[in-house]
Amino acid sequence: MHTPADSAVAIQGLHKKFKESHALCGVDLQVRQGEVLGLLGPNGAGKTTLVKILTTLLKPDSGHVLVNGWNVTADPEKIRSTIGMAGQYSTVDGLLTGFENLYLIAKLRGVGRRTARRNAEDLLARFRLSGVAGRPAGTYSGGMRRRLDLAAALVGSPPLVVLDEPTTGLDPESRLDTWDAVGELVAGGTTILLTTQYLEEADRLADRITVIDAGRVVADGTSDELKAAAGNRLVVCVAEDHQLDAAARAAARATGVTPMVDRRARRVEAAASDGPAALGRALTALEDEGVQVLEIGLSRSTLDDVFLGLTGRARHRAA
């Protein structure tokens, strides 16, 4: 366990139950100073519950939760003054302008008028919102609103920023936009805990990924470590449609698992836990089956494969 001195967040044995559902069942999690931790999990995994507990909006049933060295149960006010938060749903006021939203938050944080104005203006510029600063936030596009949410989380330069599903529900362009904005926070040295259902997002933004499912941590590591742990994939492409079944049989024999068959791409793919050895067996098996191979090889698992292996289901595509 890291000491509070080098951990922005240190969680041990965290439990939280709602009436009928056990949302968190003994979660351990660390966010080190200066890193971006991606908390990855499908809908209902417990991400928002965890985020609410560490931002002091919800009390834990049991477990130990330290944020910036403070205990969530004993010192919630200290924590609130050292974190910035952007929730799963936009919290900016649509009737107020972008500038007014940020200015008010700065004032609420006890900053003087002149400093509050300067903070708001700096953040608007940083998130490319200066041009729309005087417009009510309700008239912003989804991506602009998300940028304003991120800017709001940064008022007062908190050392830790918590972002709950920052891109869920955004169109692809706004998602890229938000990734850029998060990238800017990272460049500025802010410690970030970011939740997501998107593997691609965790892969792109996070230094380390903790995967949760049904209230439990199921894996933890860098995306490379997670991919390596999932092993290689055997990939075989054949020249003729009618050879696909024979290729699938050969791949099954070589790997011991049921392969995935992509008929359109004339491609057979299977997890190969012993990598090169499986490739050797596959070559033999394919020859036995008389398959004319167009392409054969081992590829590294993707985070999709990792996620599927860990949670037993494909990722949810949020609307």
Ligand X SMILES: Nc1ncnc2c1ncn2[C@@H]1O[C@H](COP(=O)(O)OP(=O)(O)O)[C@@H](O)[C@H]1O
Pick the piece of the chain touching ligand X (CB under 6 A) from 38-46, 66-74, 108-116, 136-144: 38-46
User: What region, left, alpha or beta, does residue 272 occupy, with left being phi > 0 and alpha being psi -120 to 50 degrees?
Assistant: beta
- Minimal distance in Å, beta carbon 51 to ligand X? 8
| 182: number of Cβ within 10 Å | 24
Q: Does 97 bind Mg ion (CB under 5 A)?
A: no
Strands 216-221 and 208-213: antiparallel
Q: Which residue among 9, 10, 14, 23 contacts ligand X (CB under 6 A)?
A: 23
Q: Does 255 bind ligand X (CB under 6 A)?
A: no
Pick the piece of the chain touching ligand X (CB under 6 A) from 42-50, 201-209, 260-268, 283-291: 42-50
Contact 46, 21 (CB under 8 A): no
What does 49 interact with, of ligand X, Mg ion, none (CB < 5 to 8 A by kind)? ligand X
Q: Provide the H-helix boundaries in the chain.
A: 47-54, 76-80, 98-108, 113-126, 142-153, 172-187, 199-205, 223-229, 244-255, 276-289, 303-311
- Minimal distance in Å, beta carbon 239 to Mg ion? 47
Q: Does 196 bind ligand X (CB under 6 A)?
A: no
DSSP 136: B
- Minimal distance in Å, beta carbon 311 to ligand X? 12
Q: Does 89 bind ligand X (CB under 6 A)?
A: no
| 277: number of Cβ within 10 Å | 11
Q: Does 38 bind ligand X (CB under 6 A)?
A: no
- Residue found by looking up tokens 């692809």 in the block: 172
Q: Does 44 bind ligand X (CB under 6 A)?
A: yes
Kindly tell me which of 212 and 248 has the beta carbon lying closer to Mg ion.
212
For Mg ion, the binding residues (CB under 5 A) are 47-48, 88
